[in-house]
Structure 1
């Protein structure tokens, strides 16, 4: 039987998750919505206290809910996420950008109901969250980075106090937190003022001469500036003690991750990268070798600490992403093509605060100074399109190497600058030959031209 003119046949969406709930997260209370008919009140509010969160989990169990979708609102989602996950619910953490409400009134109740409807019909996708022990590793390492940033601010305070005393220490040594600099700063704090004695603390590796250092240490040691220097030094030492405590916790988590794993029979390869300034106090390279079954620090640009932070951000299981293209897209290192009417409107990469992508970009900058194939690729692209695009493109190549090493066990072998330059030359020659054929000419190489002369 046909429909009347002007009347459209209504299409209904398939219910893929009938036991789904939507949760609107707030600072002081959370609003949860369940499918209509599951309870006398399909929408309820619970305060953010821990007892209330457990009551929320009990109510969801009573009404037969199996999966819950919530927005990643600030850090307020973390307690409720962890409690619901521990109670056996499948929790879907979604980006607020993907669940914008339809135009109209915006309330917490509407947001919860909208999340429930979208999740019930399978229209939401969850954000990536690694397994529990990797989450612990991520928290410790992020906190460690914050402590290092705090310590760095106190280095600036020390430099300011020295400048106010007209002590030119940071002009005669490369880094005041190096061996020479810290010896001199600690001696000033305990009361030493003789420039010759202070200069005698110079390390043999210091490039500046004793005379230059002695001249730079003749200052106006006023007590208030020395007091500021002492306080900055004490705070700097304090934060580094806290970093050491963080390292102990990171080592404990790595030991838990490696529990039951058998270390590879092959010995660790020779160290490729020099130790960085903020490397953990334990053998991170050996722990990662046991965890991953490969030494990813052999990849140019990747030190053990960089690999450790990448594992904390991305996890050690790359099966979450079907291909390397999915992985680079998640990192926002792949081109975000916008096409309309068959025309490419834009291919810029999306903006992202992904920490793993930031680490890969930093590694790309450092690899641009190396005599490697990736370094040659970076420099050639930077000369043609600019450094910003070269950093992104090189970071994407590093991301593919990281993915293939973990997912497929592929080993990294650098072909060298010569290999890359030769490939580039061959590609340029092929392009010239094709262009010459299009114009009706034949490209002749210098070798062929000289060989034909008698």
Structure 2
């Protein structure tokens, strides 16, 4: 096999220490290896860097173990070409698993270029990604507190969620505050609390509020509401930090916002996950596979097995699906036509994944060619599908021996 990296290193990463094996190729094709163990303290990681420099080693492969690879990457980023490996793709032979053997195996694979590297965006994009992922976590925590509040009301026979669409809305918050304070919720008092269309639902609200909050649930709801408002404050601060980080990328944000269904926050999240340099992906298909919005290949003995989509990026895929759900509401758009075409045959969920894939392919080419989204429209998609069906029918007739000619009217 060809030797791509004559001098390279494999690093097995753990929480408290790393095991590094340096592979040094000889002129006859053999190699010698040197194994050392370093702690994950900064001074020892600097010693690891100096140890690599003493052998003139510039090419390093290491496993992406949790968050533990990041301190090592921070130290070696400036001096080495680092390939970050998914542990699934570089497993050693069964029965030979030790830390030195793992690092040696990783080094031997990397010597021949057999370690597929993971996508590591530039430093500023990584910092933006940390913020957008933290915002996602905070949003999920806020949703959990909303559900917790609703559950506390339900167990006390207060069915507020049966009447109002959002138990965290302005009218609902005023009603819940009145319940916690033990105020009288007569029809006249309810009219002061509710807004808009809820004025027509006063009798239903009275029926829904015919329950009793226990002291235990009152104390619990107060804690829930306090935490809910704290999360809102944290989200506001994180939003400001994200806005500051995305200032150099406003052009790309504006490009993403030309796609139906994508607004500012979604654009920020998509940008933080894929970056702006599309050359790191071989093609739009590679990007879709990496994101987890394309079917997997699973074929053996001429038989196709499950082709369900892969796991992909657990932050990018959900936001793409959210944007796809919003985009298909635009009845005149190409994306809506695509959704209807797939949903009629495969159902809603698969249609949304198909639309998310179309959006990601568009994003790839928009970033690569620096151009905004061009919506082909609903009618053009229908015409394109009609032409495809026509070509398929003609091809089938010709395979049966018929000669097909187009009649021009």
How many angstroms apart in 2 are the aligned matches of 1:377 and 1:293?
A: 24
CA distance in 1: counterparts of 2:404 and 2:112, whole angstroms: 61
Alignment of 1:29-68 (within 5 A): 29-35=17-23, 42-68=34-60
Q: Is residue 2:231 matched to residue 1:309? A: no
Alignment of 1:427-446 (within 5 A): 427-432=388-393, 438=400
Distance 1:336 1:382 in 2: 20
Partner in structure 1 of residue 311 of structure 2: 352
Higher relative contact order (CA 8 A, sep 6+): 2
Q: Is the 8 A contact 1:25 1:76 kept in 2?
A: yes
1:238 to 225, 230, 241: 230
Aligned equivalent of 1:148, options 129, 139, 143 = 139
> What residue is the counterpart of 1:385 in the other structure?
346
Give the alignment's Cα RMSD to 1 decimal.
3.0
Q: 2:245 aligns with which of 248, 253, 258?
A: 253
| Distance in 1 (alpha carbons) for counterparts of 2:33 and 2:342 | 61
Contact 1:195 1:218 in 2 (8 A): no
**In 2 relative to 1, CA 442–49 (structure 1 residues): closer, same or farther, beyond 3 Å?**
closer
| Structure 1 consecutive aligned stretches of length 4 or more whose deviation exceeds 6 Å | 441-445
Superposition deviation, residue 226 in structure 1: 1.5
Q: Does 1:81 align with 2:81?
A: no
TM-score of the superposed pair, with normalisation by structure 1:
0.79
**Which one has a bigger Cα radius of gyration?**
1
Q: Secondary structure at the match of 2:195?
A: coil
Out of 402-411 and 184-193, give the one that drifted further.
Answer: 184-193
Deviation at 1:440, TM superposition (A): 5.4
Which deviations, in whole Å up to 9, do the C-alpha atoms of 1:366-397 show, x marking residues without a partner? 43443122212222212223344323322221
Which shows bigger deviation, 53-62 or 313-322?
53-62
> Does the 8 Å CA contact 2:149/2:221 hold for their aligned counterparts?
yes
CA pair 335-176 structure 1, distance change in 2 beyond 3 A: closer
Gap regions ≥5 residues in structure 2 = 27-31
How do residues 160-309 of structure 1 correspond to structure 2 at under 5 angstroms? 160-196=151-187, 197-206=189-198, 208-255=200-247, 258=248, 290-292=250-252, 294-309=254-269
TM-score norm. by structure 2 comes to 0.87
Per the TM alignment, residue 291 of structure 1 is displaced from its structure 2 partner at its CA by: 3.5
C-alpha change, 1:218 and 1:375, in structure 2 (3 Å) is same
1:120 CA drift (Å) = 2.0
8 Å CA contact 1:172–1:208 kept in 2: the answer is: no
Does the CA-based 8 Å contact 1:70-1:115 persist in structure 2? yes
Question: Of the candidates 321, 325, 334, which is equivalent to residue 361 of structure 1?
Answer: 321
Contact 2:190–2:202 (Cα < 8 Å) also in 1: no
